[in-house]
Structure 1
Amino acid sequence: MHIFIDADACPVKDETYKVGARYGLTTTVVSNSFIAIPPSKLIERMIVDAGPDVADDWIAERTEPGDIVVTNDIPLADRVLKAGGVAIAPNGRLFTADSIGSALASRAVAEHIRSMGEMTGGPKPFAQADRSRFLQALDEAVNREKRRRR
């Protein structure tokens, strides 16, 4: 089991490091630019080339069944699920086979509206409650995978 962080603009990196350390899991921080990481044998940094979806492609190509990916990117979450992994948004939203279709559809509608020049409000501000939901969802995902592997 491995944790990947789609790290550009991820607000829960520190929380992910702590959960990974608690369970002895390697966490790989994937970004298009340098991101400082704490000194730990369990935390790796991967800087990929700049460009659309380069970090997503890197993560998706390496995700194996049971791996956990922290991302806000819905298409990446879909690819993670198809690879047998678990995808969790920083606000604690767990992407599932049942929810990913509507998430992709909502994303497509929002993109269409923006392409027509409409102003959208964007995501709501990240709150402490989001951080708490994320920690709970990540902890549950790790424990669920550990039980499944027994």
Structure 2
Amino acid sequence: MQIWVDADACPKVIRDILFRAAERTGTELVMVANHGLPLPPSTLIRQLQVPKGFDIADNEIVARLAPGDILITADIPLAADALAKGAHVLSPRGERFDSGTIRAKLTMRDFMDTLRASGVQTGGPPSLSQSDRQAFANQLDNLLRQ
């Protein structure tokens, strides 16, 4: 099992939780991004740098995922593709995606895209809270214990 991270949009505080969890559990962690990231010295933590471009990082992650791997992402279409490959998917806010909820998430994402395209100001997600960080750490621990 490996942990894969859609790292271009992953908050630093979540990356730090992931670094500690990888070291604590001896789990390989791969940060996928189109730019260099500061990583702690570790034989378990590495970066896969991909070229800039639409969905290049997402496609690389999906191509390399194995059943049972863990993916950290807020990207709903990427989460759906990862679930289809048998991966576990967790958002940086601690929300665990599964085959029973991903369709509704995709539908809501498409609806919000339509609203934005028609000029409606929908705003962005709220700031990452302490409870979000705790939920993420708890869910990650649960997945790593399975």
TM-score, structure 2 as length reference? 0.97
Query: What number of residue pairs does the alignment pair up?
Result: 144
User: CA shift at 1:128, angstroms?
Assistant: 1.0
Measured after TM superposition, the shift of residue 121 of structure 1 is 1.6
Gaps of 5+ in 2: none
What is the rounded CA distance, in whole Å, between the counterparts of 2:128 and 2:71 in structure 1? 19
The corresponding residue for 1:65 is 67
Q: Identify the residue that residue 119 of structure 2 maps to in structure 1.
A: 117
1:136 match: secondary structure: helix
Q: Distance in 2 between matches of 1:63 and 1:79?
A: 10
The secondary structure found in structure 1 opposite 2:68 is coil
* 2-structure distance, mates of 1:69, 1:81: 9
Aligned mates of 1:14, 1:89 — CA distance in 2: 15
State the AA in 2 paired with 1:99.
Answer: T
Q: Which residue of 1 aligns with 2:3?
A: 3
Report the Cα offset of residue 125 of structure 1: 1.0
Determine the C-alpha separation between the residues in 2 that align with 1:53 and 1:66: 22
Gaps of 5+ in 1: 145-150
Residue deviations 1:120-140, cap 9 Å, x none?
A: 121111111100000001110
Q: 1:17 offset after TM fit, Å?
A: 1.2
Aligned partners of 1:9 and 1:83: how far apart in 2? 22
Helix, strand or coil: the match of 2:122? coil
* Amino acid of the structure 1 residue aligned with 2:68: G
Aligned residues with identical type, % of pairs: 38
Secondary structure of residue in 2 paired with 1:14: helix
* Distance (Å, rounded) in 2 between the aligned partners of 1:121 and 1:111: 12
Instruction: Tell me how far 1:9 sits from its aligned partner.
Output: 2.1
* Equivalent position SS for 2:8: coil
- Quick one: which of 13, 25, 28 aligns to 1:26? 28
Moved more, 66-75 or 8-17: 8-17
Mapped to 1, the partners of 2:18 and 2:102 lie a distance apart of 22
- The Cα RMSD (Å) is 0.7
- Alignment map for 1:1-150 (pairs within 5 Å): 1-11=1-11, 12-144=14-146
Q: If the length of structure 1 is used for normalisation, what is the TM-score? A: 0.94
| 4+ runs deviating over 3 angstroms | none
